Amino acid sequence: MAKLTRIAILTGGGDAPGMNAVIRAVAKKAILEYGAEVIGIEDGYEGLIKGQCRKLGYDDVSGILTLGGTILGTSNTSNPYRYPVKRRNRLEFKDMSTTTIKNISKLNIDGLICIGGDGTLSTASRLSRQGVPIVGIPKTIDNDLRGTDISFGFDSAVYIATEGIDRIHTTAQSHHRVMIVEVMGRSAGWIALHSGIAGGGDIILIPEIPYDPGSVVSRVRKRNEQGRRFSIVVVAEGARPKDGDIAVQRIVKESPDPIRLGGIGFVLGAQIETMMEVETRTVVMGHLQRGGSPTPFDRVLATRLGTQAVDMVQNKRFGYMVGVKGDSLIKVPLEEVAKGPRTVPLNHPLIQAARAVGTCFGD
């Protein structure tokens, strides 16, 4: 088999702790083990569309293991198949996939490693079907990618959210309030579920289980009657009331997924205050969950995923994502990843465990 000589890497979608750790792992393995040249694509697919890239040497990736963000930059609006273009103050969308594929061909690479979530890897799947040699690496703090038990960035996000919940406890107890902590999770409630359990949330609301405001208020009242004069509610941004709608913060027209969620915590707070006389406060964790240094777990996972992806390029295992199954790394077809989000099963052991210790899910 021909030895690996040139490899490219890009980071797409929302940033997540551990992206730089993956870049470091890919570059160092390619350089040290294969003597290969590494090309960094700037700003995700934007760099492929516009031909913006740079060589990554060993020194470029030294010292970035602990850094949040991505040294290559990223974009969650640059889809080669639906690229936003403004003409005469009008937003139009153009298919730039032919240009993208030509630019990839000009790089003369053995393979392209795409680090991203469902949007980035869905695009990677389409490019792969058109002959681009691609290997995917799962990146999402939401942990909602098909084909993998976990993605890097998730552990860091849960840690940050849990720390926020821990800090909320003291002020909730002091002022006898209902404190609502809104965390990320558009269609899957993994962050809310894990951080809610870890932080001792009394009520956890996730997109998979539409909540009844009356059930939430009943739980708060019951706690008050038992002498517990405060309650902690952890809610995913994509949670919604029964027969109600998700809370939309704004619309980003140029994005492939234009709806930006946010504000369900304030909606729920107003509902609680309307139904009972209790002071309610909402804290939105927001992009705090994406920033900062990755946890040790994510650094290790990112290193494993990155080095495995290089081996897959060397072995020409294209059209796959490196996934995690238990303690093992597996190959997952990109077509499978592109089928949609991995949501929390209603019979998941964590839901059962939370219910067993008295946690309310608003149903």
Catalytic residues: 142
Q: How many residues does the chain have?
A: 363
Helices and strands (H and E) in the chain: how many: 12, 15
How many angstroms separate the CA atoms of 228 and 8, rounded?
Answer: 56
Q: Residues 220, 276: contact at Cβ < 8 Å? A: yes
How many angstroms separate the CA atoms of 161 and 295, rounded?
Answer: 13
Sort residue 57 into left (φ over 0), alpha (ψ -120 to 50) or beta: beta
Alpha helices in the chain (DSSP H): 19-34, 45-50, 58-61, 97-107, 118-129, 154-175, 190-198, 213-225, 264-275, 296-314, 334-337, 349-356
Structure tokens at 357: 């210790």
Q: CB-hemisphere CA count at 13 Å for 256?
A: 20
